[in-house]
Structure 1
Amino acid sequence: MRKRFCIGTTVLMTGLLLGGCLQRAVPPAAPPGTSPPPAAQPGGVPGPAPNAAHPTAPTPAYERDRPATPDLTGGPESQNRTARTTPREGTDPSRILYFSGPRTAKQVALTFDDGPDLRFTPQILDILKQNGVKATFFIVGTRAQAHPEMVRRIVAEGHAIGNHTWDHPKLTKLTPQQIRDEVVRTDQLLDSIVGYYPALFRPPYGLTNPDIVREIGAMGYKIIDWSVDTRDWAGTPVPQMMDYVRTELRPGAIILEHCAGGRSEDLSNTVSALPQIIDTLKAQGYTFVTVPQLLNIPAAKMSAE
């Protein structure tokens, strides 16, 4: 009798032990309407739950930037520009509007329009820094307001800046007072960011006329056009961009590129072409300078008017 009791007790204890092990091995079912708990990784560390709080890949910086970088009021360059059939050089008789610098030395100035943004501008600055090249950036006011840290970086790394209006309109469609408002508002913002008023101005899309030249000149600016157009704004392939540079290049050249674009514009071609442009011109004996250095003009002026 005692033997049967012992056997029964042993069987009962074994069953209880097995049941407890099985209960620990099988996770409890998730309550209705909830996600199951994350599976354990080797070592017993829970893995990330596949939900919105843990996306599989972070959103690229340039995608996060798109809503924050204001668009160009006049529209993207590709919808408002045509390439010039005859490159321009030198300066106009007023000594206000410049297309290029002196041809007495093998110097060139790289210029970048429509920035800053957080997608292309940092890449361009990185390339310039890696190659020890200084350039000139023509800044749109609304974009400087959105990304003041990029304007500070441009200046801190030794580049020159110029005024490219507040929101990139077509100046030929504005009144003289509207033009002044565009320019002064941008200058006041740039002064608040970097501590000075730029003395350089570039009209959006290169659109100007004698009245605009007189108006801007009376405000103390030098208007900076260009003599070499890479046509990056048209989505031009890199080999074709290089052909344009080789064909139009002269000592004293001012080269037009962009460090930001309109919503529909992809300037990956500019980023890819820039190291090639630098290497090609250096191999030909050119040195890179800022526009004020090229033209021997001040980089800053005393006031916004």
Structure 2
Amino acid sequence: MPGNRHRASGGRHEMGAGPLRTHWLLLAVLVLTLTAALLVDGYTQHMFKINNDAAPHPPGASGAVPAQVSSGGPVIDSASVPARTLRPRPYRIALTFDDGPDPVWTPKILKVLRENHVHATFFVVGTQIAANPGLIRSIVADGNQVGIHTFTHPNLGAIPPWQRTVEMSEEQLAIAGAAGVTTSLLRPPYSSVNDAVDNPDWGAIRQAGRLGYLTVLTTQDSNDWHRPGIARIIDSATPGGSAGQVLLMHDGGGNRAQTVAALRTLLPRLKAHGFRVGTVSEAVGIANPMRPASTLDRWKGRALLWAVKGGDTALTFLTWAMYAAGALSVLRAAIVLWAAGRHRRKPARRGPGVSTPASIIVPAYNESAGIQAAVRSLVASDHPVEVIVVDDGSTDGTADMVEALGLPQVRVIRQRNAGKPAALNTGIAAASFDLLVMVDGDTVFEPDTVHKLVQPFADPRVGAVSGNAKVLNRRGLLGRWQHIEYVIGFNLDRRLFDLAECMPTVPGAVGAFRRDTLLRVGAVSDDTLAEDTDLTMAICRDGWRVVYEEGAVAWTEAPASLKALWRQRYRWCYGTLQAMWKHRRALVQGGPAGKLGRRGLIYLLVFQTLLPLLAPVVDIFAAYSLTFLSSTRVISVWLAFLLLQLIMGLYAFKLDEERPSPLWTLPLQQFVYRQLMYLVVFHSLFTAAAGIRLRWQSMERYGTLQIPASGQRTTEKV
């Protein structure tokens, strides 16, 4: 939990350029592109299904359907006035296949047609073309014809006219993009014979005629969709007389093994009965309905196919991202809960207590709102201490306010503004004792905090100790959310890091160090904006143990506005990334440094960097699923995730002896706070990748600091 609070007038970060705004444009473009791809995929794959074309539909009124259409031939030219129809000639059969192309069955059907020197008309679905564009080229290359069966297979009579136009035009572009041709044949999904056409169907057929299409219905249904058996398919497909027929079969939409087997017997049988089998135009006696597509239509069609393919790819990516996010969330919960339980059961430290006096260093820049409360709480410690307040060029009278307290064990050192690391180093140099406690100027200690904080130094291997920082100003949703984050996130993680001996951060709000340890690692560096994380990692790499003392409680003032929270977390995240990069060699080192690298750094990379980046993907997928898939499943997954968070929260609050009442805000936190945090991570990563150096930023102060009464939890007071 980095604690940078200072602005440096001459530091290396002040002179850097401000963050570029292009990355927000990039993020917006990525999100909009992904959303558009998913909308295409959702519409094409989930708005309609390729169901049984022969399934019964409730009959509607048919008074508007012309008599010559109801009793006419299956090929309808609705653009003529009056509408006219055509029938196949005697002993002619137009062999048609619906709902393909299918990667399994269409090639097998094409093989049977080639073996029998027969051509057919394939009424194809646009989504199937997008998935199998090569099959359309094979169909056309073999001399067969294609007709449109709409892009997503809706009932044209049940959708508005604008959507019918989209369905037909997009299907036409798909054919042009895949095979370089256009067609004037249309078979509406769920259509059958002429006398089944009702008023809505006729409206769709008339609109198709105005767009230049001939509508092709059927006169003989093989019923192969129902898979009744090969013999029954053959019987249903065989004409009872000499009249010409438009025969309906299927090459897609399900298992077409019976269709392929029946076709092998049916074609020789029809030939033996004197029938000539061919395309619709051959059977009816009209001109070839297929024409070469224009160059523009070919490119538009290819773009459409790429868009549909992109939607499929985006959905695949989102699905795997969802699995990854879910797995990582469960894995992190399992790890931290297990570690917290182990940490809780660790044997208490034995041996003589540490009574050595400690020097408390308070770097302060414009802390007038709370510095007096902070200093009073430190002086009230039940452990012998001296307090050194280093005023880092404040302009609000911070140093004067401390001196006005007239406390004998408090020293004030004034210096020109040089940044928090410089202020801490000034305090280290001026300290009288070998045990050093560092605390921010917006933090108050309980009377026993210092004593508990220094006890782990009884172990000579311990070089630094992290205390337990708690949010003081918890009023309002933002305060409660930060309180939850501190308890669940920060403190559970510290128990894990303590157990794994890879503590990456001793927070600036409450931490203790050996002077010798600090001097060995070069004291506090200003290489990063997270000087506390940088310092802690350096200590770990030097071979020291860094432990967590949950009983050493400090109350800190958290940001009270979204703007202030953004600035704080952006600085923390960016500084942590800097520190991780600076200490990346720990990944290949041995000993304590290797534990930091292969445990701590990998944990930070996976769970505090990569996992937040998956959050927007999860949100977009959730919106997609609510729109196009099962809302029940999405809500169930979200509730399961929320339950996992609640379990972690209840356990963490129990460990920290906190009342669980703020956890009622967890559901709301998922909709606002979590999004803010992953935007922070994205912003930080882009800034780091772009090589932008940030300025130091001062924090707002709200004057809410107060010294907690001994033994009283702040949850009872705010």
Query: TM class, shorter-chain normalised?
Result: 0.5 to 0.7
2: CA distance, partners of 1:253 / 1:200 = 17
Pairing 1:174–2:163 present = no
2: CA distance, partners of 1:266 / 1:122 = 13
Pairing 1:90–2:73 present = yes
Distance 1:175 1:97, change over 3 A: farther
Cα shift at 1:194: 1.7
Aligned to 1:255: 247
- What secondary structure, in the 3-state scheme, does the structure 1 residue paired with 2:249 have? strand
Cα shift at 1:72: 8.7
Distance 1:110 1:252, change over 3 A: same
Cα shift at 1:300: 2.7
2: CA distance, partners of 1:97 / 1:127 = 34
Q: How does 1:122-137 map to 2 (within 5 A)?
A: 122-137=107-122
CA contact (8 A) 2:157 2:203 kept: no
Give the TM-score normalised by the residue count of structure 1: 0.67
Q: Which amino acid aligns with 1:127?
A: V
CA contact (8 A) 2:50 2:99 kept: no
Aligned to 1:297: 287
CA contact (8 A) 2:98 2:124 kept: yes
Aligned to 1:274: 263
Q: Which amino acid aligns with 1:122?
A: P
2: CA distance, partners of 1:71 / 1:112 = 23
Cα shift at 1:80: 3.3
Summarize deviations over 1:270-302 as a string: whole Å, max 9, x none: 011001110110001111221122221341368
- What secondary structure, in the 3-state scheme, does the structure 2 residue paired with 1:288 have? strand
Aligned to 2:215: 223
CA contact (8 A) 2:77 2:214 kept: no
CA contact (8 A) 1:100 1:226 kept: no
Unmatched 5+ stretches in structure 1 = 1-68
Distance 1:284 1:257, change over 3 A: same
Cα shift at 1:75: 4.2
Distance 1:227 1:174, change over 3 A: same
2: CA distance, partners of 1:218 / 1:136 = 22
233-242 or 130-139, larger mean C-alpha shift: 233-242
Cα shift at 1:93: 7.9
Q: Which amino acid aligns with 1:205?
A: Y
Structure ranking higher on relative contact order (CA contacts 8 Å, 6+ apart): 1
Cα shift at 1:245: 2.3
Bigger helix fraction:
2
Unmatched 5+ stretches in structure 2 = 1-43, 60-69, 298-718
1: CA distance, partners of 2:77 / 2:289 = 21
Give the TM-score normalised by the residue count of structure 2: 0.30
Q: How does 1:64-143 map to 2 (within 5 A)?
A: 73-77=48-52, 80-81=55-56, 90-91=73-74, 94=78, 100-103=87-90, 106-143=91-128
CA contact (8 A) 2:53 2:191 kept: no
Aligned to 2:273: 284
Larger radius of gyration: 2
Aligned to 2:225: 233
- What secondary structure, in the 3-state scheme, does the structure 1 residue paired with 2:190 have? helix
Distance 1:184 1:102, change over 3 A: same
91-100 or 189-198, larger mean C-alpha shift: 91-100
For residue 189 of structure 2, the aligned residue among 190, 204, 208 is 204
- What secondary structure, in the 3-state scheme, does the structure 2 residue paired with 1:182 have? helix
Cα shift at 1:100: 3.8
Distance 1:157 1:234, change over 3 A: same
Summarize deviations over 1:68-90 as a string: whole Å, max 9, x none: x96892442178347x9xx9762
Distance 1:199 1:249, change over 3 A: farther
Distance 1:152 1:97, change over 3 A: farther
Distance 1:75 1:132, change over 3 A: closer
